[in-house]
């Protein structure tokens, strides 16, 4: 659904915009009580059975955008309940990060085969003949599937000459590569937080907008407004996300208009990460471990830790580009606040780890940043050019697309050790990542460098992006070609991340 304007994307943008506007106006968080009426104006519902339900959902969206938890429906509480604790610049995320608003869930059908109106009541009755459990019969002139007998093998659907039998599954559950989506006693979707890795694919797959991640927009703006030196470190997938006029030079100008002190490319940290992971691979494979997996995607990292704990030792211990860049910025600017701006919901989960909290103060997705631009009336078509961003190499910028991390590490090893062949394998989407790790566990990838990306297409397909995946990947490709340097060894920051022997 990325890149397709819809009522859901409109509502999300309105929520982010109004929360940012409230923070910029500096009147305190008490105005949050009025935001559902701004987001859902008038007296007629747009898409739900009542405007009161729409406003209740909008209210929970506002709370989540400010990092607060969903209120229980069983007890009465104000929408601003707990905001005095959350509405401070130092507030971190509190799990769970990905949430389902219960009364926004459509109670979609779960894993079942259904006969549609396409059924022709044909004489062949192939659907009946192939069913191993005799679950298919004819009723009222068309096939009928007995749900108590059906084992969901799909043979009836494959045999139907009219494609009259379809498989239905909840979009959120189908998108979840961790199988973390279940249902409560009322049939509403619920998230098993012990399995969830916050990739956000369920969030962008729900056609009813019932799944929402927590945000820090209010806290970022308050930090800016109270006079902190707030520096944005921006993932390479940012390019093109804010329209055709959002060149790097205009982007830096737009960020200054929001109050950011300056902007730094996370591609710089990606270059440092490449050097470290290449050295890691050369030192440890196969001497100390059978294979090595890249460390950059936090959802992939969490998936391995949860489902393949015995293989966790094979993930590189190298810091992620976000952390490398944040530490570099804080070393050069003591006392500053660092905001990671990127495509990824899982980066929010990474940032709340005890070892990283002091490095990354806030995380914003591109979608949330767009709300800040709207709140401040930033127009990329008319804004003046700002500073350019020329420090990241082509390799570092390529981390945004699937294959970019492993490719950068492989190419660097080839550059420094041309006699050494590095085999790589990768997977996109957590279901495919699980298959990759299952094969690696069985010894099929000994000696390999493995790359896992939780989002199909890579970071450009993250839950917080605005562009269609193919378009975003093409724009990043052009951005790579515009880099002044190709290899991480050409970066002036190469010594910050370690030397490659």
Per the structure block, which two tokens stand in for 372?
Answer: 């800040």
Looking at residues 101-112, what average pLDDT do you find? 94
Q: Which of 69-78, 87-96, 220-229, 465-474 has the lowest mean pLDDT?
A: 87-96
Can 7-105+175-218 and 112-168 be said to share one CATH topology? yes
Contact assessment for residue 67 and residue 82, using Cβ atoms and an 8 Å cutoff: no
Per the listing, tokens 């100008």 go with: 253
Domain-wise residue ranges, the chain: 7-105+175-218, 112-168, 219-489
> Is the dihedral angle over the CA atoms 395, 399, 402, 408 positive or is it negative?
positive
What pLDDT score was predicted for residue 501?
Answer: 41
Alpha carbon separation from 25 to 31, 34, 376 (Å, rounded): 10, 14, 10
More confident call, 168 vs 494: 168
Q: Angle at the Cα of 466 (from 461 to 469), degrees rounded to 5?
A: 35
Tokens representing 88 are: 């401070």
Over residues 331-373, the pLDDT tens digits come to 999 999 999 999 999 999 899 887 778 899 999 999 999 999 9
Which position has the token pair 């990739």?
A: 199
In 403-481, DSSP assigns E strands to 424-428, 449-453
Q: According to the model, what pLDDT value does residue 13 have?
A: 97
Cα–Cα distance between 19 and 70 in angstroms, integer? 16
C-alpha to C-alpha distance for 294 and 78, rounded to whole angstroms? 45
Rg for the chain (alpha carbons), in Å? 25
Residue among 233, 228, 218, 258 nearest 91 (CA):
218
- 343, two tokens: 């495509």
Residue labelled with tokens 């070393």? 331
Under 8 Å between Cβ of 126 and 159: yes
Strands 449-453, 292-293: pairing kind: parallel
- For range 396-417, the mean pLDDT: 97
Is 60 exceeded by the pLDDT of residue 499?
Answer: no
CATH for 112-168 (3.20.20.190, 3.50.50.60, 3.40.30.10, 3.30.70.20): 3.30.70.20
Q: For residues 128 and 136, what is the distance between their CA atoms, to the nearest angstrom? A: 5
Taking the C-alpha atoms of residue 68 and residue 61, their distance in angstroms, rounded to an integer, is: 9
Band of residue 264 on the pLDDT scale cut at 50, 70, 90 = very high
What is the rounded distance in angstroms from the CA atom of residue 89 to the CA atom of residue 177? Answer: 34
* 309: Cβ contacts below 8 Å, ≥ 6 apart: none
**Alpha-carbon torsion, ordered 407, 409, 411, 415, to 10 deg:** 180
What is the sign, positive or negative, of the torsion defined by CA atoms of 412, 398, 455, 59? positive
* 7-105+175-218, CATH topology level: Alpha-Beta Plaits (3.30.70)
């Amino acid at each position: 659904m990325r890149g397709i304007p819809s009522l859901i994307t409109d509502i999300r943008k309105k929520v982010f915009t109004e929360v940012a506007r409230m923070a910029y106006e500096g009147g305190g968080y008490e105005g949050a009580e009025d935001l559902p009426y701004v987001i859902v104006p008038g007296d007629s519902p747009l898409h739900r059975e009542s405007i009161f339900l729409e406003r209740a959902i909008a209210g929970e969206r506002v709370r989540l955008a400010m990092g607060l938890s969903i209120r229980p429906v069983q007890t009465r509480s104000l929408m601003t309940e707990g905001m005095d604790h959350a509405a401070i610049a130092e507030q971190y995320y509190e799990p769970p990060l990905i949430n389902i608003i219960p009364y926004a869930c459509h109670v979609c059908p779960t894993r079942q085969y259904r006969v549609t109106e396409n059924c022709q009541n044909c004489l062949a009755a192939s659907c009946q003949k192939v069913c191993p459990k005799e679950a298919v019969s004819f009723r009222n002139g068309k096939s009928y599937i007995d749900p108590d007998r059906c084992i969901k093998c799909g043979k009836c659907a494959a045999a139907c000459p009219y494609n009259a039998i379809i498989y239905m599954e909840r979009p959120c559950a189908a998108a979840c590569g961790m199988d973390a989506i279940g249902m409560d006693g009322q049939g509403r979707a619920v998230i098993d937080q012990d399995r969830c890795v916050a990739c956000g694919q369920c969030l962008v797959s729900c056609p009813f907008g019932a799944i929402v991640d927590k945000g820090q927009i209010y806290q970022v703006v308050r930090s800016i407004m109270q006079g902190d030196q707030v520096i944005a470190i921006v993932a390479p997938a940012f390019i093109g996300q804010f329209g055709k006029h959002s060149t790097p030079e205009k982007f830096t100008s737009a960020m200054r208009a929001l109050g950011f002190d300056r902007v730094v490319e996370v591609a710089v940290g990606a270059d440092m990460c490449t050097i470290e992971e290449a050295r890691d691979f050369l030192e440890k494979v196969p001497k100390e471990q059978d294979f090595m997996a890249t460390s950059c995607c936090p959802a992939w990292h969490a998936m391995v830790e949860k489902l393949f704990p015995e293989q966790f030792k094979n993930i590189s211990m190298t810091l992620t580009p976000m952390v490398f860049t944040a530490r570099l910025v804080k070393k050069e600017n003591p006392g500053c606040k660092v905001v990671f701006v990127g495509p990824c919901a899982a980066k929010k989960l990474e940032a709340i780890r005890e070892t990283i909290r002091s490095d990354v103060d806030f995380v914003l997705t591109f979608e949330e940043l767009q709300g800040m631009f709207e709140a401040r009336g930033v127009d990329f078509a008319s804004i003046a050019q700002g500073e350019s961003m020329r420090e990241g190499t082509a390799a570092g910028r390529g981390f945004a697309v699937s294959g970019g991390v492993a490719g950068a590490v492989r190419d660097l090893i080839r550059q420094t050790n041309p006699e050494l062949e590095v085999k790589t394998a990768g997977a996109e989407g957590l279901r495919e990542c699980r298959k990759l790790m299952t094969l690696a566990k069985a010894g099929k990838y000994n000696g390999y460098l493995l790359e896992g990306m939780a989002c199909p297409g890579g970071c450009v397909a993250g839950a917080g992006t605005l562009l269609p995946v193919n378009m975003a990947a093409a724009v990043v490709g052009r951005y790579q070609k515009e880099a002044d340097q190709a290899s991480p060894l050409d970066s002036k920051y190469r010594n910050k991340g370690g030397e490659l022997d």
